[in-house]
Each structure stands twice: as C-alpha cells, then as structure tokens.
Structure 1
Amino acid sequence: MKKIVLVLPCFSSQQWDSQAEQAWNIARNLTADGWAQCCILASRLADEPALELKNDVPIHRFTPERSRWGFLRKYWQDDFTDDDVAVPGMELFLQKNQFDLVHIMVGGRLCERLAAVLQERNIPYVVSCRSGEFRIFDAAQRGRSRSHSAFTHYLRSYHGALRNAGRVLCSDHRLRRMLAQRLGDRQVECWQMGVEPERFSRLSPLNFKEFYQIPASRHIVLTIGRIGESGNQKMLLETLSMLNSRNWNCQLVMIGWCSSARYMKSFMDLAVKCRMENYLTVIPGFPPGDERFAAAFQAASLVILPARYEVSGTAVLEAWSAGVPVIASPAGAAADLIEDNVSGRLVMMHDFQACVRCCEELLDERNRTRLEKMRSTALAQARNFRWKNCLDKLVGIYEDVMKIA
C-alpha cells in the first residue's frame, strides 16, 4: 500500500476551513478505499494533542517556531498565515520516514523548506496553490487590479519548491494560467475539490434557527470563510443593514474563524454602528461532519461569498447541493464555477448597490420560477463534483508523479 502525506498549516476543529476539509476528505477516502495509507502533518495549537488517530488517519502536529516579530504580524495582519514559520519537527519527520508521495498544502518559505528536505531524499511531491495566497485579483477594487506585484513577491518566496514539484495544483484557472507562464504548462493543473451532495440535500433533523435562537420569520443570509479584510465581511454587514432598512428582515450568519482580534473588534463596532448587532450570528466553525453545518445551508435563504481574492469553490458546491442561491465575487473558483444569471450571481464587491440589487432579486418570492431554474441548474452542476469524481482525477495525478519519479 502506498504511503501518502498531506501537509497543512493547521488541522483543528477550532480553525476548520475549506483547506482542512479538502485534506481530510482526501486522506480518509483514499485510506478507506485501500489505495493508500494517508497521514496528515500540521502545526500544533497549544491545546491540541501531538498525535491523534481519526478514521484510521494519523494526524501528527508539530510546534512551530515563530519569528520574534510574529506577535506583531498576528496583531496587525488580519490574514496571518503559517507560511513563514519554521516547523523543525515536521522537517525531521520527513527526514526520518519513507513515503511514496507528499502533498504540500502550504506556501511561502515553509513550503520551500519542506520541499528542500524532499528533494534531498528524492521523494516526489505536489504542491497546492490558492489564489488567496497570491492575490492576483481583487474583487473589491475598482478598475484594473494592481495585484501583479503581490503575485511576483509571493511566488519568489517559494519558486524553487514549485519549479521542482511533480505537479502544481491550482484552485482556479486564472491562477493556473499565471503560474503556467512561469513554470510551464504541463506542470500546472487546475483541480477543484469535491462535495457530498446528499449531505446537504438530505433534510437535517436539526432546526438551525431554533438552535441559534433566530426568529423563524427572518431570512438567513449565510457566508462561509475565514473572517478578515480579505473575506470582505464588513461590506456584507453594510449590505444587510441596507436590506433591513428596506424591511427584508435578514439575519447574517457567519461561519468562520478570525485570526485578528483587531479586525474582529472593528467588525463588531461596525455591527453596532449599522444597528446589526441583533441580526448577527458568528460561529467560529464546526468539527468535521457536524450536522449543524449542513443545517445552516438548509436554513439559509441566500449564500453570499464576498471574498476579495479567493472564493472557496467548496462553499459554492455546498450551497448548490442544498438548493440555496449564491452571490459571489468573481474571485478564485467562483469565477470558474458560476455562470452569472444561470447558476448564481457574480458581483464585483466594490459595487455596493449591485450587491444589494442581487440580494433583493434572489430574496423576492415573485422571482420563484427563475430561482427554481437556477437551483436546478446549480444542483446538476454540483453533482458533477462528487468527491469520488474529484478523487479519481487526483489519484491519476498522484500516480503520474510517482511514475516520473
């Protein structure tokens, strides 16, 4: 049986996100199918076990060594990541154990350091890249995006690791094209993670509104993703404030964790200013498989994904599977998945009025026929991205890389 390692910034129910969901589904499904024995490596939070076994998948956690200025970065930079930290235990683990392939899901200097260990030992590896890391497109900026310099700067931090990878996997085609210009077309592929449609279409026994004490008459507007400047949730808060001033009676439900106390404080201050503090539910996240997650989609009238640099394709597919209309910024996978006015709405998030208009269109019951057609189209598309189909493609990529090595 093949031995596959997946490397993540963190793997915690307290900071669960689409990346952790992706790694977890890859590891548990490939292990359950008997194709490989997978394990997950991640940085360790203070209260987490160093070793944990979940569904026959070992999860190894290692304490990171942050720079002496790390505390300042974490306070001021709302989207602090672990890309620039050193994790000596993780490097030692890769040096001492033998694997058939390593899938690196971190970027920056951490990716560069881990790749150097693997190159020295001739262990093949693939690297996953996300648009949010490179910031190649800003959906909240008017006119031409000026993110090319950010792309170049971030690419430089681990260009060697990408150049020597067996394959580079991208979250969307815009990023794939830009990386292919630097690394070569054959080395870079676009791979979209999957969804379990039945989990979200099957009626949940949990009454989400009752559980979170949300009045039954309110429309739930749901957003999924990490909370911060790049998530653009402040614009969403102002949008719902405008909708409620027009008597739409909406409750904003946010599922995601925030790495910046500074941003969270300013967000809650804005909620008070907009008189939205009683129309706001913030949920840091759910453990994998928690019934409340699917119930949140089923209770929602609308899903809005307003991220500036990257919209999670997983969140789009989950909303489609639950039959909920989606409004998203044309960033990341959303631009590839959503056909505007057919399977959802794409809105540049600097256009506040356009976002409000789209919300009103999709909340208005007089547009029921149009909405049903949109739901039907979206659900059919979501079924094409079942995890089995996506994993079959990924296994093919893994096998190609191992053959070349």
Structure 2
Amino acid sequence: MKVAQVVRRFSFDEWGGTENVVWNSTLALRKLGIESEILATSALSLPGGEVRDGVRIRRFRYFYPYFPLPGKDRLALDKKGGSPYSPSLSRAMAKGGYDLIHIHAGGRIAMLAVAAAHQCRIPCVISLHGGFADVPKQELEEMLAPLRGKFHYGGVLDRLSGLHCNPVREADAVICVGQNEFRLLSPYGAERRVLYLPNGVDIEKFAGTPKARPVREEWNIPAERRLLLCVSRIDYQKNQKMLIPFLKQLTGRGEEVHLLLIGPVTAPWYAEELMALARQCRVADRVTLVPGLAPDDPRLVAAFRGADCFVLPSLHEPFGIVVLEAWAAGLPVLAAKVGGLRRLVQNGYSGLHFEPGIPATLMSAYERIVREPGLRESIVDWARQEVRCYSWPVIGRELARLYEGVCHG
C-alpha cells in the first residue's frame, strides 16, 4: 500500500505536534509494510524533495489569497493558522499513484486532498489534530490577525477551482486525536468510520540514556536549583507567562528553582512579552528559553531526563504529546485542566491538574509533588505503566487496520 501523508507544512526546524505525529506514524507504518510519502507546502522550508530515514518528503510552492500580504504576515500564517493554495501539491496528489490519501490539515489543503482522492477514486482519511471543536475565541482572533485589512480573493478562486466541500464529511474515515472532537463527531459514526486514535511516543528514546551533555551543563543551570521544564511552542496558546509569577513566588520564599522553556517561537511578540515579564519580576536569570530543537536533537532527551518536574500551563491543548514524552522520561507532570489534558492526565494518578487561570492551584500541585515523595513516586510509576499504551508500534497497528478497512470496505 502506498499512502500520501498530506500536511500543511513539514519543517524539521519548526517542529510541532502534527509534524511529530506524521513523521513517527509514517515510520511505524513502514515497519508494517505500508509505504508513505509526505506531501506539504514549502512553508518554513524550501520547495523540492528530500529523503530522510527512507521516507520521501516533497514540498510544493503555495500562496495565500490575500492582498497585500507583507512578509511578516505571511510568516505568521506559515507558523500558525494559514490556509494556502498549492496547485502543484494538488497535481502531485492526483498523479502520485497512491492507494490512499491521509489528510493532516484543514482549510484549502484538506479540500484539495479530498478533490484529488475523488478524482483518483481512492479513499481518503482525515486526522483532526485539534482546532476543530474547541479553539478559544482569543486564540482564533490572534490567528486571524495577519489577515485584517487585507483584500481576500480566495472566494473567487474557490469557486473557480470547485473547492466547496466539507473535508470531514467527505472523508471515508475521521481520526480524532482529541476526545472533544471525538465526542462531537461520534454521531456521524453510522455514516463513516469515526474513531479516537491518540498520539504516540518513542518510549525507548525518552527512557534511554541521553546522548548529549547533561542539561544543566548544556545551558549553565546551577546544580542546586530544582529544574522545572516546559516543552511547547512559545505561543499565547501555551500560556508560559503564567509560570513567571509562579517562579517569582518560589524564589521570593528562598527556593532555588530554574525554569527551562523549550519550543519554536510561533508568536514572536509573545516571546518578547514573556521575557519582559521575567525581567520585570526579576527572575530573568532563572529563565532559560531555547527557541526550538530539532526532533532528533539529543539535547531534548537530555532536558527531559535532567529536569525535576514537567509543567504544561496551556490554555488550549487538544492532546499533549509532550506529556507522553515526560511520562516516558520518568518526570512527574503538572498539567492545566483543559482540553485533552483533562482526560490524558488522570489527576492524582498519572499527574496533577491545575487551573490555568488560578496560580494558587499550580502552587498547590507543585507543593504536593515536592513535599510528598510517596506521591511523586506513585505518579511516576503509574505514568510509566500508562505510557505503554501510547507507543508508536501500538498506534501504527491501529492506523494500519484503519487503512485496510477503508481500502477494502
């Protein structure tokens, strides 16, 4: 079987949850005899092809149907929320000789993929990686900010191109990585396959010995400081600013702590505000911001293995792959009680919840982890057992069964 894995962008330098899923599920499927090609726009990359670890990746030119569109606004759309046109990507999907198209995008890319599948008379599957059911209003407004005041000519192109379908309704199967989307779409299960298939993790990678210098040595973090780790995009959705007053409160009462933030900067203005707040709270010397690491960078594993606690304060989180990575590395997890984290993290068993808008709840969860060694050990042990259900081989087998079903059903 030959599958086209279609994604809006695919950059190893700007790694996110969707890229993580597409890449690792592709590798897991290869071991089961299913070959995939990854097709994407050249957003945050260059047009052309490459082969990495035996997987062919093809990137195509694209444009956003807005005028005028300065470079900074185009870059903002590339990083988050853009809905581009890519005629060359459309042609590649139609002429690639695929047996199935798996869509990991929304908007026009998804509609182009559905049209290509119909043209070739092959099935298509769409994965909802979040943002379908519960995007907060503020986040949606920020995503659309680059388009304000622009002339939109996409409607004319949509009509000329015949792009008017609803990809979720047209797909032969719908994969929900978040429980909210699954609950919303489950009534459609009689019409097509709708299933909940969570994201996965490379357990051996994060549980193993790091192949990099110790995290404190790498980023000059004093050994006596308790290290709090947050791995996520530097973005208003991820809410890292909540951690700065929390850090100030801890240091104000004499605790030796340090905050390590790792993730690509998808909202530069937010990163500037974050560090300005750290300076204002006089804790900038206790905050280290690493603007993204490649997925194969050994320093990422070293960070997980060398930290004392993992914190994820997101305002909106459909799933939370980084929680799986923390579990595999043996880190206790403090997670905001939002979105997919509500169900992924079992409060008191595989981690502790806190309310993202109530700092006192984060302090309470943190103090329990620090002052109750038995609870910490119990959470780590429980999480190590729980994470086995999310290994990529397990997810790959479920995905392969779905492919076989829609191809022969």
Q: Output the TM-score relative to the length of structure 2.
A: 0.86
255-264 vs 336-345, greater mean Cα deviation: 255-264
1:207 is matched with 214
AA at the equivalent of 2:215: F
Q: How far is the alpha carbon of 1:305 from its aligned partner?
A: 1.2
Q: How far is the alpha carbon of 1:191 from its aligned partner?
A: 0.6
The aligned runs of 1:371-386 (5 Å cut-off) are: 371-386=376-391
**From 254, 259, 276, the counterpart of 1:252:** 259
Q: How far is the alpha carbon of 1:183 from its aligned partner?
A: 6.8
Secondary structure of 1:229 counterpart: coil
The aligned runs of 1:65-214 (5 Å cut-off) are: 65-66=63-64, 67-68=66-67, 70-71=69-70, 74=73, 81-131=80-130, 133-134=131-132, 136=134, 160-181=166-187, 187-205=193-211, 206-214=213-221
Secondary structure of 2:274 counterpart: helix
Secondary structure of 2:390 counterpart: coil
Matched, 1:390 2:389: no
Contact preservation (8 Å) 1:104, 1:128: yes
**1:257-313 deviation line (CA, Å, top 9, x unaligned):** 122222222222212112222112222222232211111111111111111111543
* Alpha-carbon distance change, 171 to 268 in structure 1, aligned in 2, over 3 angstroms: same
Secondary structure of 1:13 counterpart: coil
Structural RMSD (CA): 2.6
Q: Output the TM-score relative to the length of structure 1.
A: 0.87
Matched, 1:241 2:248: yes
AA at the equivalent of 1:189: L
Q: How far is the alpha carbon of 1:114 from its aligned partner?
A: 2.3
Contact preservation (8 Å) 1:323, 1:379: yes
**1:386-405 deviation line (CA, Å, top 9, x unaligned):** 1111111111111111113x
1:324 is matched with 331
* Alpha-carbon distance change, 137 to 113 in structure 1, aligned in 2, over 3 angstroms: closer
Give the Cα–Cα distance (whole angstroms) in 2 for the partners of residues 8 and 138 of structure 1: 23
Over the matched positions of the two proteins, sequence identity in percent amounts to 28
Give the Cα–Cα distance (whole angstroms) in 1 for the partners of residues 45 and 17 of structure 2: 22
AA at the equivalent of 2:52: K
2:160 is matched with none
Give the Cα–Cα distance (whole angstroms) in 1 for the partners of residues 378 and 271 of structure 2: 38
**1:47-97 deviation line (CA, Å, top 9, x unaligned):** 536111001101101122023355498489799535411122211111222
**From 282, 285, 304, the counterpart of 2:292:** 285
* Alpha-carbon distance change, 269 to 75 in structure 1, aligned in 2, over 3 angstroms: farther
* Stretches of structure 1 lacking an aligned partner (at least 5 in a row): 142-156
1:151 is matched with none
Q: How far is the alpha carbon of 1:113 from its aligned partner?
A: 2.6
Q: How far is the alpha carbon of 1:107 from its aligned partner?
A: 1.1
Secondary structure of 1:231 counterpart: coil
Contact preservation (8 Å) 1:79, 1:259: no
Contact preservation (8 Å) 1:169, 1:189: yes
AA at the equivalent of 2:166: G
1:362 is matched with 369
Give the Cα–Cα distance (whole angstroms) in 1 for the partners of residues 221 and 164 of structure 2: 46
1:7 is matched with 6
Q: How far is the alpha carbon of 1:360 from its aligned partner?
A: 2.2
Give the Cα–Cα distance (whole angstroms) in 1 for the partners of residues 38 and 19 of structure 2: 10
Secondary structure of 2:379 counterpart: helix
The structure 1 segments of at least 4 consecutive aligned residues displaced by more than 3 Å after TM superposition are 45-49, 69-80, 137-141, 181-186
Q: How far is the alpha carbon of 1:42 from its aligned partner?
A: 1.6
* Alpha-carbon distance change, 207 to 306 in structure 1, aligned in 2, over 3 angstroms: same
220-229 vs 239-248, greater mean Cα deviation: 239-248
Count of matched residue positions in the alignment of Structure 1 and Structure 2: 384
Give the Cα–Cα distance (whole angstroms) in 1 for the partners of residues 69 and 21 of structure 2: 27
AA at the equivalent of 1:115: V
Contact preservation (8 Å) 2:47, 2:61: no
* Alpha-carbon distance change, 46 to 338 in structure 1, aligned in 2, over 3 angstroms: closer
* Alpha-carbon distance change, 42 to 179 in structure 1, aligned in 2, over 3 angstroms: same
1:36 is matched with 34
Contact preservation (8 Å) 2:44, 2:78: no
Q: How far is the alpha carbon of 1:331 from its aligned partner?
A: 2.9
Contact preservation (8 Å) 1:225, 1:256: yes
Q: How far is the alpha carbon of 1:329 from its aligned partner?
A: 1.7
Q: How far is the alpha carbon of 1:185 from its aligned partner?
A: 7.4
Q: How far is the alpha carbon of 1:140 from its aligned partner?
A: 11
* Stretches of structure 2 lacking an aligned partner (at least 5 in a row): 140-162
Secondary structure of 1:30 counterpart: helix
Q: How far is the alpha carbon of 1:160 from its aligned partner?
A: 1.4
Give the Cα–Cα distance (whole angstroms) in 2 for the partners of residues 282 and 185 of structure 1: 47
Contact preservation (8 Å) 2:4, 2:38: yes
* Alpha-carbon distance change, 55 to 368 in structure 1, aligned in 2, over 3 angstroms: same
Contact preservation (8 Å) 1:139, 1:307: no
